[in-house]
């Protein structure tokens, strides 16, 4: 359907249109959950109508709009797209409001959406909440160095020290740090089931896989920028204000080295909302695993019961 002047891909799945609607805002940017949604969230469809949306520059939306690959993505433009998606859902499914769920990059987009149009959203559920480029990047860099030094890992120490503290201009640096965070998170977290990451048949064709990967590359460069001038540089959620006109739930992995628990908790403490909850999960890092999904489902059921 047409969102923001271009065709954008969306799936709507659930047992009953009477159930609450959950709009899932994916991370990355460039990493839609549509290929994996049935395995990750399929059991939730008895109680919720789940909406997967491939954002501008990602997945099948990227595939339908390859001619716009020279477009400069901005948080504001993509948040406006998300608001249009939410408006469409309220009309299509006969709802006054939908539940907004965002993770990692998607948590940035979702907060911008919530601040733009709070009337559209019954609650906000954030996981691996990205808050500000300055605070998150520096905390991530510092914690990885601490872990590597404590482990006597001279190779990783040398690699991270060579980057210097953020902010960076080299677009490769974010990826170098991300590989190190994955290495050290894996030592103290429980992995996700491998079966989760098998693509559904309609997303496993050569064309669909190529579009996904091309969108991932495109969105990553838009995120970091060629000179440190991408969307990442602009992220500063506290500047939007920390008052929310809806319940707010932040689900945080205790071992998350990308969006660290200290930065998330400071942001949570500043939030003023009708209701708020901070859920800290042991043996959980930045990426989803069974404990993270179970916590999300529990929170969604509590919202449904309110």
Q: How far is CA 56 from CA 12, 31, 63, 208, in A?
A: 18, 11, 10, 16
User: Beta strand 21-25 with 49-53: parallel, antiparallel or unpaired?
Assistant: parallel
User: For 58-70, how does the pLDDT look when each residue is reduced to its tens digit (9 = 90+)?
Assistant: 999 999 997 666 6
pLDDT tens-digit series, residues 47-90: 999 999 999 999 999 999 976 666 899 999 999 999 999 999 99
Question: Mean of the pLDDT values across residues 185-195?
Answer: 97
Domains and CATH numbers, the chain: 2-133+190-305 (3.40.50.1820), 137-186 (no CATH)
Q: Decide the pairing of beta strands 10-13 and 2-3.
A: unpaired
CA distance 86 to 230: 26
């Amino acid at each position: 359907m047409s969102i923001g002047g271009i065709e954008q891909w969306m799936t709507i799945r659930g047992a009953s249109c009477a159930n609450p609607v959950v709009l899932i805002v994916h991370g990355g940017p460039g990493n839609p959950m549509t290929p994996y949604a049935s395995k990750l969230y399929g059991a939730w469809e008895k109680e919720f109508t789940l909406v997967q949306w491939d954002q501008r520059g990602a997945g099948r939306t990227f595939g339908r709009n390859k001619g716009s690959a020279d477009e400069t993505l901005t948080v504001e433009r993509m948040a406006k797209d998300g608001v249009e998606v939410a408006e469409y859902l309220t009309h299509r499914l006969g709802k006054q409001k939908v539940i907004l769920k965002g993770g990692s990059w998607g948590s940035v987009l979702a907060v911008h959406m919530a601040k733009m149009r709070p009337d559209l959203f019954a609650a906000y559920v954030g996981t691996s909440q990205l808050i500000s480029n300055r605070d998150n990047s520096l905390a991530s860099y510092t914690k990885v160095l601490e872990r590597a030094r404590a482990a006597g890992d001279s190779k990783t120490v040398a690699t991270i020290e060579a980057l210097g503290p953020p902010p960076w201009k080299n677009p490769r640096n974010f990826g170098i740090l991300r590989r190190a965070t994955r290495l050290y998170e894996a030592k103290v977290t429980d992995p996700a089931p491998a079966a989760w990451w098998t693509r559904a048949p309609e997303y496993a064709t050569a064309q669909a896989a190529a579009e996904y990967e091309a969108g991932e590359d495109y969105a990553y460069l838009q995120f970091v920028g060629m000179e440190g001038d991408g969307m990442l540089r602009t992220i500063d959620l506290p500047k939007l204000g920390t008052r929310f006109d809806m319940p707010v739930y932040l689900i945080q992995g205790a071992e998350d080295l990308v969006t660290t628990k200290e930065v998330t908790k400071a942001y949570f403490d500043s939030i003023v909302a009708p209701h708020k909850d901070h859920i800290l999960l042991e043996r959980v890092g930045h990426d989803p695993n069974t404990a993270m999904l179970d916590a999300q489902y529990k929170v969604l059921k509590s919202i449904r019961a309110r």
